[in-house]
Amino acid sequence: MTSKPEKLHRRTRLLQIVRVMRSYDVLGNFMHQKNPNQVKQAFEELGPTFIKVGQLLSTRPDLVSPAYLTTFAQLQDQVAVDDYHVVAQTFEEQTGKSISQVFANFEKEPFASGSIGQTHHATLQDGTAVVVKIQHPDVDQLVHTDFALFRMALKILRFVPEIGAVNPQEIFNEVRTSLLNEMDTRIEIENGEEFYHNNHGDGIIEVPKVYRKLSTQKILVNSAMPGQSISHLIKQPLSKNPKIAEEQQQLRHYLAHTLITNYLKQVFLIISIMLIPIRETSYFTNLNLIILIIKKSLPDQF
């Protein structure tokens, strides 16, 4: 049974969702795939769960229109950064140790914050540079509340004769599986370790190491691998010097070949790793390619 506090929380959240959705006509716009910017603004206002829904849909051209793909790809997390004492409390609750016991240095201000958690630079006691991702403490409750409300909405949508080309149940199932998996860092630990084993040191490819003993359900510790986005090579114009321009072209061809080869390896050779390599963030530094993988689940046909 749902407790009274849970019912009150659901009611408050439901009223907020209804107000925002009415304001932006989210249901009508989304079901008929029109006015994507209005839906984007509503998702950003509603917070982490809806932002993640849009971000996941931005990778699914089979579910949403090209206009929605482009707009949802621009969704920005507008999540308040957790204070350091909140981070320290979460870390201690998850590991049974204080931050100072594990790290020689831990930057109190995160260098990145998203809908699920925030990431800090830190240094292990042996001097190893790492990054520590810590989940926001209230994400669990918010996401499960939103999903409970989504299920209620789906029951109503079954009686709507015309809801457009989008299948709400299919979207809900996809988003629920992906988001709950992402919230359970233990899955990311397993995937990260296996991906490291299969790809690290394969030619110029380097993969961040996962520190399993320091990671938990809500905490992920990886080796730090600073670098520059590989996109700068694409945007960089070719030199007017023919020799330098040829070297630039050769480098681009080499990197493109490396990326495509690794992509195919992920899809066709390493089927046991439940990853889809479509949301990689690649960095390039000193001719070393650093591939940071955001986990996804392979479709059933694989």
Residue 285's DSSP bridge partners are 288
d(CA 200, CA 212): 17
Q: Quick check: 130 and 211 in contact, CB under 8 A?
A: yes
Distances from the Cα of 54 to the Cα of 4, 185, 216, angstroms: 31, 21, 27
Domain containing 255 equals 228-292
What lies within 8 Å, CB to CB, of 30 at 6+ separation is: 39, 68, 164, 166
The verdict on residue 190 lying in a domain is yes
Same domain, 153 and 131: no
DSSP characters for 261-275? Answer: HHHHIIIII-TTS--
Give the least confident one: 173-187, 188-202, 275-289.
275-289
- Cα of first residue to Cα of last residue in the chain, in angstroms, is 38
The verdict on residue 193 lying in a domain is yes
The verdict on residue 172 lying in a domain is yes
The verdict on residue 116 lying in a domain is yes
Same domain, 163 and 58: yes
Would you tell me the crossing angle of helices 48-57 and 36-46 to the nearest 10 degrees? 140
Same domain, 132 and 259: no
Same domain, 56 and 172: yes
Q: What is the pLDDT of residues 267-295, one digit of tens each?
A: 776 554 444 444 445 555 544 555 554 33
Residue 148: what residue type?
A: A
Same domain, 9 and 60: yes
The CATH number assigned to the domain holding 216 equals 3.30.200.20
Same domain, 67 and 15: yes
Residue 3 has a pLDDT of: 62
Q: What is the pLDDT of residues 68-87, one digit of tens each?
A: 999 998 886 656 789 999 99
Q: Nearest Cα to 29, choosing from 77, 76, 65, 74?
A: 65
Total domains in the fold of the chain:
3
Longest dimension (CA), the chain: 73
Q: What is the pLDDT of residues 131-170, one digit of tens each?
A: 999 999 888 888 888 888 877 777 766 655 555 555 677 7
Residue 163 has a pLDDT of: 52
Same domain, 29 and 176: yes
Gyration radius from the chain CA atoms: 21
Same domain, 34 and 150: yes
The verdict on residue 259 lying in a domain is yes
Same domain, 46 and 28: yes
Same domain, 191 and 93: yes
| 5 CB neighbour count, 10 Å cutoff | 8
